[in-house]
Amino acid sequence: MPKAVYPGSFDPVTKGHLDLIMRASRIFEQVIVGVLENKAKMPLFSAEERVKMLEEVLSDCDNVRVLSFEGLLTDFVHMVGADTVLRGLRGVSDFDYESQMAAVNQDLGSVETIFMMAEPEYSYISSSAVRELASYGKDVSRYVPCTVSDKIQEKIKKIQEKECVHYEQPH
């Protein structure tokens, strides 16, 4: 199959995402990881930081590209010359939302969605759980690549230091 876009927030990229990308890279000629900027969701990492982390961990995969995008997914899919979206399913709980999105993307831009099941050993990992655990000082290196785990710790430390300064010096 020629080209698929794997869209998401990747805030941050987890071992579950990576496993899916590696498996997809053996099926598709090219996989484009589309990092949704999503400023309204106040992501932990900026889109540039998320793209950089993904590029670092995927540097050995010749047929995988990482790009950020804003706006409608179907526009991005057409812009990069693809017509297929790839999404991961961790279980039935993902299915409701994903089937709705797939129908909208089909209707809006004739974009097909292909689903791949998460590996059972990664199926309970989510970026939001990783962020939550890290904010309580827990080690998340089982869930994310080690370069990413270092960056999460740095980021959380910076945020907590900033909050501390605000708390100590109220206006």
Residues that bind ligand ADP (CB under 6 A): 8-10, 14, 16-17, 20, 87-88, 90, 94, 118, 122-123, 125-127
Enter the tokens of residue 66.
């990482």
- State the minimum distance, in angstroms, from the CB of residue 125 to ligand ADP: 4
Please indicate whether residue 127 is annotated as part of the active site: yes
Q: Which residue has the tokens 């370069």?
A: 147
Alpha helices in the chain (DSSP H): 15-25, 47-57, 73-79, 92-109, 127-135, 146-168
Point out the catalytic residue in the list 17, 87, 131, 151.
Answer: 17
Name the strands in the sheet holding 3-8, side by side, starting at the edge strand that comes first in the sequence: 64-69, 30-36, 3-8, 84-89, 112-117
Point out the catalytic residue in the list 9, 25, 127, 149.
Answer: 127
Please indicate whether residue 158 is annotated as part of the active site: no
Please identify the residue of the shown chain whose CB is closest to the bound ligand ADP. Answer: 16
Please indicate whether residue 41 is annotated as part of the active site: yes
Point out the catalytic residue in the list 39, 41, 158, 166.
Answer: 41
Enumerate the β-bridge partners of residue 126.
Answer: none
Please indicate whether residue 166 is annotated as part of the active site: no
Annotated catalytic residues are: 17, 41, 90, 127
